[in-house]
Amino acid sequence: MTNFDLKDNTVRDLNQALHQDSADKAEFVVSNSNGKHSIAVGAMYDSTVTVDGHAGYYCGGMNQNANITINGNAGSGCAENIMSGTVRVKGNASQYCAATGQGGLVIVEGDTSSRCGISMKGVDIVVGGSIGNLSAFMAQSGCLVVCGDAGEALGDSAYEARFYVGGKVASLGADCIEKPMEDEHRAQLKELLEAAGMGDVDTSGFKRYGSARRLYNFNIDNAGEY
């Protein structure tokens, strides 16, 4: 196990260590994070990173293969453009969490702010609390699971992504509609919650939302939706 005290080491030192092939299968503990930005960005190997405190902007961004845990809150852009691996936030996450995520799993045990999962491209996101407005805007693929409530304009202009919400939805965005919960969707929801360590969540009240597919091609009759 390698201890990185950011009181004595720089974030650059940490990230450079995570970019070396010696990081494969290694364990890193980051202390005195104190809300510093860009912690554990671009991790490339199957390492385990534990941030023992709050993180600033872009923590876990561009993650590939690593398993990152933040024992606190995370600032804007947490896990942005994640490719694979996992990023877990034990507290709350700020705006555009997991934006443009290509793959992997992002877990936020608390709440997230606006634009959670914006332009997601394959990432799976599980939020134990609630999410803010314009979440999953232009989402293309992947799943967003919200155990609490969703803010306004959920799934605005989304494509093939799936959204599962256990609480109330303030409003749906353009071309986003409620869809039937069939057996395959219930199974997928259960699988995602179990992967996030939330397998005990009651899924009976969850609803599924997604694209109505009216915006795939321009149609003058739908001009008001563009």
Q: What is the pLDDT along the chain (226 residues), one digit of tens a residue?
A: 899 999 999 999 999 999 999 999 999 999 999 999 999 999 999 999 999 999 999 999 999 999 999 999 999 999 999 999 999 999 999 999 999 999 999 999 999 999 999 999 999 999 999 999 999 999 999 999 999 999 999 999 999 999 999 999 999 999 999 999 999 999 999 999 999 999 999 999 999 999 998 877 766 676 666 5
Per-residue model confidence (pLDDT) at position 225: 60
Tell me: do 119 and 153 sit in the same domain: yes
Per-residue model confidence (pLDDT) at position 224: 66
Tell me: do 108 and 205 sit in the same domain: yes
Instruction: List, in order, residues 6 or more apart from 45 with CB less than 8 Å away.
Output: 18, 21, 23, 24, 25, 26, 65, 66
Q: Contact at 8 Å (CB) between 142 and 125?
A: yes
Strands (E), 99-196: 105-108, 121-127, 141-146, 162-165, 176-179
Per-residue model confidence (pLDDT) at position 151: 98
Single residue among 38, 60, 86 that ends a domain in this structure: 86
Tell me: do 145 and 49 sit in the same domain: no
Tally of domains within the chain:
2
Strands (E), the chain: 2-5, 27-31, 48-51, 67-70, 86-89, 105-108, 121-127, 141-146, 162-165, 176-179, 207-211
The 8-class DSSP code of residue 20 comes to S
Single residue among 86, 106, 126 that ends a domain in this structure: 86
Tell me: do 99 and 196 sit in the same domain: yes
Tell me: do 71 and 110 sit in the same domain: no
Interatomic CA distance for residues 159 and 139, integer angstroms: 6
Single residue among 62, 86, 110 that ends a domain in this structure: 86
In the sheet with 121-127, reading across from the earlier edge strand, the strands are 2-5, 27-31, 48-51, 67-70, 86-89, 105-108, 121-127, 141-146, 162-165, 207-211, 176-179
Alpha helices in the chain (DSSP H): 11-18, 183-195
Tell me: do 8 and 29 sit in the same domain: yes
Length of the chain: 226
Per-residue model confidence (pLDDT) at position 91: 98
Instruction: Provide the domain limits for residue 101.
Output: 95-226
Tell me: do 76 and 181 sit in the same domain: no
Per-residue model confidence (pLDDT) at position 197: 97
Q: Contact at 8 Å (CB) between 93 and 70?
A: no
Q: Contact at 8 Å (CB) between 146 and 168?
A: no
